[in-house]
Amino acid sequence: MTSVERVGDDTYNGVRKPAYNILAYTWGRWALPCGPALEIHNVRWAIPPIDSARFTVAQFQRVLGVVSKGVEFVWVDIACIDQEDYKMKMEEIGRQGGIFNNARTAFIWLHGTSGDDLQKICNELFQLTDKLDGDETFTVDLEEYGYGSIDVHYEPDDAGSDISVGHKTFLPHCLQDPKMLEDIQRVLTHLTYDAWFSSLWTLQEAFLRTEAILLSREGTQVTRRGYENVALVNLIICMGEFEHYVGKVLSKQGTKEHGDSATLASSLKAIDSVLQKIGLGAWENPNTIYHSAKFRTATDPLDRVYGIMQVFGFRLGATNDPSSSFTLDELESQFALEINAISPIWAQLFVHSRQAPKGKCWRISQDSRIPPQSSICRRDSRQHVLGQAEFFGSP
């Protein structure tokens, strides 16, 4: 493999705006000072060796082979971001939004999860989500569109399928079953065992390319009847469904629960805790990414801002001025000011979960939460986040 430098704005190896695929994965926590490393020619920096207990060079090469199918170019961070020149590194970090959004196909490498385990987790998530929609099914034939068929679940008696938990709060009938709640928590927790769901940088990548195709440790894809590929968005939809019903209970703070209702509320809070750590359930509202970042692992505290700013199209701190140094507090203020400059309403659409520092109440923080009442804004924001329309602009 050979790394190709950009010439001008968009030319690589004599090709202007070449088609390329991109790989999202995490490796920083397992970098070693020495050891076997991926062999890539024409790079000025040393390719970081990775602990082979996490993934081997051979596994990395195999996955890159999968990612490169159909294109001549692949973007992979260790070969495309200078690991030693700080100025060049920050310049590339400030371009991540455009790099990810312009890729033809994005892939996510879950190198901590085997193909068999990933298939099993996805199967269970899909089955649990289907149950939320009811016990009855009908089949939709998609043959004419080049796919197979899918089963659509529904509840024949919607009114009778809901139970009350607290004041004016309703849940699907299947969530009366403690086993159902136990299964949801277990499967979500199993998913978080893969380090991709705890990395800060992958949180930004998830928001930038929700349709990224999932790859297992071995580079295999998940299969699902009626779907050509199983992508991150399929998992996001599941988590969004879970978070929707969990939010119905947790938004009714102050309501005393008794008996079975109290047990259900307790179980749903446990599920909510896992969903908050994953941080993808309410992906349609970009403000949630800042709260979610607090649960992600970062080797540098400044990455709490640098690692998510491109979701908004922002270039902050050293990505604008690499000759200067910035504190996390300064970056957080820059981040909040930029959001306020674009939309004061969106910038204030949060609730502090703990007392803010003096003079800082105006700005969103990682201890802020987005209220469930903002669901309409979440739906409306989708086109802005994915399409980079006028609200956030293009990075």
pLDDT in tens, 221-242: 999 887 888 999 999 989 988 8
For the chain, give every domain's residue range: 115-191+231-278, 284-395
Say what the pLDDT of residue 390 is.
Answer: 36
Report in angstroms the alpha-carbon separations of 53 from 31, 59, 152, 173, 269.
Answer: 11, 11, 41, 44, 34
pLDDT band at 283 (very low <50, low <70, confident <90, very high): low
Q: Has residue 31 got a pLDDT over 80?
A: yes
Average pLDDT over residues 164-172: 52
The better pLDDT of the pair 346, 198 is held by 198
Count, residues in the chain: 395
Q: Which residues have C-beta within 8 Å of that of residue 33, sequence separation ≥ 6?
A: 49
Say what the pLDDT of residue 251 is.
Answer: 65
Report in angstroms the alpha-carbon separations of 158 from 65, 120, 130.
Answer: 48, 30, 15
Give the C-alpha separation, 354 to 361, whole Å.
Answer: 10
The better pLDDT of the pair 216, 82 is held by 216
Q: Has residue 377 got a pLDDT over 60?
A: no
The better pLDDT of the pair 218, 172 is held by 218
pLDDT band at 379 (very low <50, low <70, confident <90, very high): very low
pLDDT band at 125 (very low <50, low <70, confident <90, very high): very high
pLDDT band at 395 (very low <50, low <70, confident <90, very high): very low
Q: How do residues 34-66 score in pLDDT, each as one tens digit? A: 999 999 988 888 999 999 999 999 999 999 999
Q: Residue 45 has what DSSP assignment?
A: S
Sheet holding 6-7, edge to edge: 6-7, 11-12, 15-16
Say what the pLDDT of residue 282 is.
Answer: 59
Q: Has residue 310 got a pLDDT over 90?
A: yes
Give the C-alpha separation, 214 to 343, whole Å.
Answer: 34
Give the C-alpha separation, 386 to 382, whole Å.
Answer: 6
The per-residue pLDDT of the chain, averaged, comes to 82
Helix axes 178-192, 232-250, angle to 10 degrees: 130
Average pLDDT over residues 70-75: 93
Say what the pLDDT of residue 114 is.
Answer: 97
Are 151 and 238 contacting, i.e. CB atoms less than 8 angstroms apart?
Answer: no
Whole-model pTM? 0.83
Give the C-alpha separation, 124 to 119, whole Å.
Answer: 9
Say what the pLDDT of residue 186 is.
Answer: 95
Q: How do residues 322-361 score in pLDDT, each as one tens digit? A: 889 999 999 999 999 998 998 888 788 888 888 888 889 9
Are 281 and 275 contacting, i.e. CB atoms less than 8 angstroms apart?
Answer: yes
pLDDT band at 252 (very low <50, low <70, confident <90, very high): low
Give the C-alpha separation, 19 to 104, whole Å.
Answer: 6
pLDDT band at 374 (very low <50, low <70, confident <90, very high): low
pLDDT band at 294 (very low <50, low <70, confident <90, very high): confident
Average pLDDT over residues 22-38: 93
Please state which of the ranges 62-71, 166-175, 290-299, 381-390 shows the lowest mean pLDDT: 381-390
Task: Give the containing element (helix H, strand E) for 122.
Answer: helix 115-132
Q: Has residue 190 got a pLDDT over 90?
A: yes
Task: Give the containing element (helix H, strand E) for 305.
Answer: helix 303-306
Give the C-alpha separation, 63 to 209, whole Å.
Answer: 18
Report in angstroms the alpha-carbon separations of 238 from 103, 122, 131, 233, 301.
Answer: 25, 10, 11, 9, 31
Main-chain dihedrals φ then ψ at residue 16, nearest 5 degrees: -90, 130
Average pLDDT over residues 246-252: 68
